[in-house]
Amino acid sequence: MSLNIAHLAVALAILSAFAPLLFARKTALLKFFSFMFLGLSGCAAVVAGAMALLADQVVTMVVPIGLPWLHCYQKLDPLAGLFLLIVGLVTAVVGCYGPAYVREYENGAQPLPVLTVFTGLFVAGMFLVMLAADAFSFMLAWELMSVASYFLVAYQHQNSENRNAAFIYLLMAQVGGLFILLGYGVLAAFGGAFSFDAMAAAPLSSGWASIAFILAFIGFGMKAGVVPLHVWLPQAHPVAPSHISALMSGVMLKVAVYGFIRFSYDLLGDIHWQWGVLVLFIGSVSAILGVLYALMQHDLKRLLAYHSVENIGIIYMGIGLSMIFSSFDLPLLAALGLVAALYHSLNHALFKSLLFLGAGAVLQNSHEHDLEKMGGLIRGMPITALCFLIGCISISALPPFNGFVSEWLTFQAALQGPAIDSGVISSLIPVAAAVLALTGALAAACFVKVFGVAFLGLPRSEAVSKARESSFGMVFAQGVLALCCLLFGVFPTWTVGAINVIPQHLLGVGLPAATEKGWVWLTPMAAETASYGAPMVLLGICLAWLIVWLWLHPRRRKTPVRVGDTWDCGFGPLNSRMQYTSSSFTQPIRRVFRPVWPIDEQIIAKDEKHPGGHYHLRVGDWAWNKIYLPIGRILLASAKRAAMIQGGNIRVYLAYSFFTLIFLLWVIV
């Protein structure tokens, strides 16, 4: 039953893609039916995923398509069910957000049907990746997802920035897909078939298993955006439409996480501690560098893209801890690390999608990407500001919202490092915990900057001062995600209880003590080790706010509150130039961590264009400067040398053919 509903979700997504065939000339009907089918497909995916997860179902089938010797297998188990639920939930919300948001594209340079076609195909591809149970259908769905999202990034291709970002994204997606294909090829060579069941039973040596793991780690890591394979994220996400950015950052990255978990735990099975150390190290580097690069950004969507790198790093930290504990035969601790990673995958999909949808509302109403030109948006967009604030608190891992719970579980897993019977590894894990703590502090600082600069204070431009609240559909979508951030943070025991079946399938054991104290207290290992009462924390916060409000309420004061102008230090009326800018807010952090970034900072003297002087700051990316640019130069130089063989001389071409023929005859004989 659950697999049939999942097929319905795929069919509805494809129907959403083909809606322009019927309503290409009727924009209102096109938007309504396309996003209606998209939202319904998300709802169907949520139902199918919840059924597989909560009922602990494993449903398989052979789809009667493909080649006679190459069957198409599909399977829906709790792992696929969780990620199908994640993708479906965000897709359903985007179905509500989209009709009002795409109004700005109705009279644009590019036709709106192109956007809706590839959105539907993109979502269908993600659904099919979760259902695939063989390498052939998995790669077909993976390529559908990658190619469709390429056209979405390149949608406004009249801008050179969009074309460059789309090219880099497609190039890295195809390179990553090649690594994944090679990883599956290793398993298929030993398993004798392309089905996942045959691959899981393949008799792999330790060396070949490590080769397959490295190939998969690079391939899926390139799509997930781990450092140093992350460079496409800060280029692709800012130029894509905001609801597409929410789908790409919120859920497409989780499809890569799903593929990596499926490959490592389900197909390889026997985890080596070296793999876990690699994943933990890359995850830690991604987390700390992601948040540091995000701190330096002025473009709102680029900043959020770098925070996706940070949160993917946190997810990989949980997976790495799980792998290390599993290799040392500590299944309970391995289950804790895996549950933390899965929970953070869900949480990141919620608050990152919320933040991208909020950024889309800000961009649509203010027509500004640059934080330095925003300010005071809370007056014209109070509901968006509230929802965005909830997203900021959630991504900063502050209670009582959901981001705190999954990061707290990751901390609990990292604090169990002394249980490992290896002095070196048990001493490295606390370092990862310290990195996670620093990452959380820097993330909080970053979003204090974002919310303060964008929504508080005075407007820094006329367009921002005229911004008003978005339409009902856009506000409703943000409200749903904000409510989910609160619910998944206040009732974590229910979520952990549902996710707990996944480590039982992959590791043979779950977290039996996590929910034994009821729905109020989450006890990941045991009550005497650590516990978190999220409902009690929420109750305490509400009581504290109530007491403060009652204490400060004007009716309870003996002397009335006098309202006057803000003290201006004698310099005249306050204006927006007296406020903190994004650059000035992060200046102390930039000084402390200066070696992390290639920084170009200049103070330009007064001139005709800038009578008050000019401050120039450009923060680059070391990975792009030190890895990708040199590779690009080498490839261009090689291409120029290869082009020399095309001399236009017929005698040279005949010589090529002659010597090639002689070589082939020599090889064959």
pLDDT, tens digit, 9 for 90 and up, residues 389-412: 999 999 999 988 998 999 999 988
pLDDT of residue 471: 87
> What's the rounded Cα separation, in Å, for the pair 264 and 316?
12
pLDDT, tens digit, 9 for 90 and up, residues 257-294: 999 999 999 898 788 889 999 999 999 999 999 999 99
Q: Check whether 51 has a pLDDT greater than 80.
A: yes
- What the block records as the tokens of 55 is 């009922």
Report in angstroms the alpha-carbon separations of 321 from 78, 93, 346, 463. 21, 33, 18, 48
> What's the rounded Cα separation, in Å, for the pair 451 and 385?
8
Q: What one-character DSSP code corresponds to residue 132?
A: B
- 70 SS3 class: strand
- 89 SS3 class: helix
Parallel/antiparallel/unpaired status of strands 70-76 and 599-604: unpaired
Q: Exposed, middle or buried by CB within 10 Å (0-12, 13-18, 19+), for 266?
A: middle
Long-range contacts of 211-214 (CB under 8 A, 24+ apart): 211/186, 212/183, 212/186, 212/187, 212/263, 212/268, 213/183, 213/263, 213/264, 213/268, 213/272, 213/275
User: Domain limits of the chain?
Assistant: 273-554, 586-616, 622-668
Q: What one-character DSSP code corresponds to residue 594?
A: G
> What's the rounded Cα separation, in Å, for the pair 197 and 186?
14
Give the residue ranges of DSSP H helices in 491-564.
492-499, 501-506, 534-552
pLDDT of residue 31: 84
Helices and strands per DSSP (H, E), number in the chain: 29, 4
- 248 SS3 class: helix
Q: At which residue do the structure tokens 């929410």 appear?
A: 246
Cβ 20 vs Cβ 116: under 8 Å: yes
Q: How confident is the model at residue 611 (pLDDT cuts 50, 70, 90)?
A: low
pLDDT of residue 24: 67
Q: How confident is the model at residue 463 (pLDDT cuts 50, 70, 90)?
A: confident
Q: Check whether 67 has a pLDDT greater than 70.
A: no
pLDDT, tens digit, 9 for 90 and up, residues 11-31: 999 999 888 777 767 878 888
Half-sphere exposure of 401 (CA within 13 A, CB side): 22
Q: At which residue do the structure tokens 């919310």 appear?
A: 451
Report field, pTM of the whole predicted structure over 0.95: no
Q: What is the 3-class SS of 364-424, one letter each residue?
A: HHHCCCEHHHCCCHHHHCHHHHHHHHHHHHHHCCCCCCHHHHHHHHHHHHHCCHHHCCCHH
Q: Check whether 503 has a pLDDT greater than 60.
A: yes
Q: What one-character DSSP code corresponds to residue 66?
A: E
Q: What angle, 0 to 180 degrees and rounded to 10, lies between the N-to-C axes of helices 331-366 and 382-395?
A: 150
> What's the rounded Cα separation, in Å, for the pair 529 and 408?
13
Cβ 206 vs Cβ 272: under 8 Å: yes
> What's the rounded Cα separation, in Å, for the pair 626 and 360?
32
Cβ 90 vs Cβ 246: under 8 Å: yes
CB atoms within 10 A of CB 508: 11
> What's the rounded Cα separation, in Å, for the pair 293 and 590?
10
Determine the Cα angle at 228 with ends 307 and 413, to 5°: 60
Question: To which H or E segment does residue 77 belong?
Answer: none
Q: How confident is the model at residue 358 (pLDDT cuts 50, 70, 90)?
A: very high
Query: How far from each other are the two terminal CA atoms of the chain, in whole angstroms?
Result: 59
pLDDT of residue 107: 76
Cβ 373 vs Cβ 440: under 8 Å: no
Q: At which residue do the structure tokens 């998969």 appear?
A: 216
Backbone angles phi, psi at 292, to 5 degrees: -65, -40
Parallel/antiparallel/unpaired status of strands 70-76 and 59-67: antiparallel
Q: Exposed, middle or buried by CB within 10 Å (0-12, 13-18, 19+), for 118?
A: buried
Average per-residue pLDDT for the chain: 86
pLDDT of residue 612: 58
Q: At which residue do the structure tokens 């009002």 appear?
A: 100
Q: How confident is the model at residue 32 (pLDDT cuts 50, 70, 90)?
A: confident
Q: Exposed, middle or buried by CB within 10 Å (0-12, 13-18, 19+), for 236?
A: buried
